[in-house]
Structure 1
């Protein structure tokens, strides 16, 4: 197996990472950096199209939140107008697209979620909070407040001070992983592999529960 291209994929012109790929690693939900490295350096075929009902629900919730913010006096930018593209010191392009970026004296970044809350949601917003001032998106030069809005009515505010040096170092560490010329060791697990974009191609993917390896006498 070629350690420079273990899955035999088409190489990207330069390393590229999307914010949503990083969030599960920052929250501790994902551990297999082999998957992140492959996604960042190669074009991994995608077989998971967003279901149409998800798109409708997401857009409906986004429209509702954006409307309420405008009623409250905010200037509001949505989705494509919020595109972020930044080159990191590791040579990796980091990109993202917050659902809503609003301004009313101070900045606010909002992500709307139609599924149940997960730890990666907060990490995703933290990344937007860190990247928006780096690009000076819509003139915002300091880390904005963050907000997560869920379809079930949950609403979480996230203070700017969560984007501290420890968080930034965690992001830098992941960028260094993606910038490596050779693949990191795989860390397959049933729970992580089942949702991995590389699963169909990866020879290390775990698709079945591990076999029982022994007994516990006292059970």
Structure 2
């Protein structure tokens, strides 16, 4: 019979793709993640993407109202849920899992636990005293307009009582898209390269993951350009609610 510790052990060491992406406009960033999810099964391996934003922006959750976004920021609607996320000083990453991956066989909350513990381990590597939240968002919070980092939920990452890292998922027949953001409330206290290396070590320590450099092909970028133009750069998508 399995004991409780078995739930905190990965089935086996594995190799993931690592895409060290640059800074892009908001519509490109969401389109890239969308295409990564659509092509997850054909790639076969899980993928970690690290990327930035080329302008002040906010992303709003899939079900949120467009007017939840503040004035003065570029706005894009995410394919995942959650609240308004400010992309000013944050560090953003995406995990994409193919449908046959062992994490895809777990319930949503347990998969959050695994991924966010890996991020927490990376922050601990930077000497950040981070803990995982234990409580879910209260039912009285308006999810159509909430600010992500003001409303921690179970397995979000906290320093004291302040949320510094959150994430949201989308699950389809193509696999899992897990979008995450780390925000310390102001300019990042660490170089982005140092945070990336710490994040890599965090996934290695929690899930026995090794990373293989990944460079998308021209066909991938062509698909992203189409997705950006037809979906994430449109008022129809971003203002749908």
For the superposition of Structure 1 and Structure 2, which TM-score range results when normalised by the shorter chain? under 0.3
- Point out which structure has higher relative CO (alpha carbons under 8 A, 6+ apart): 2
TM-score, length-scaled by structure 1: 0.26
TM-score, length-scaled by structure 2: 0.25
Bigger strand fraction = 2
Rg larger for: 1
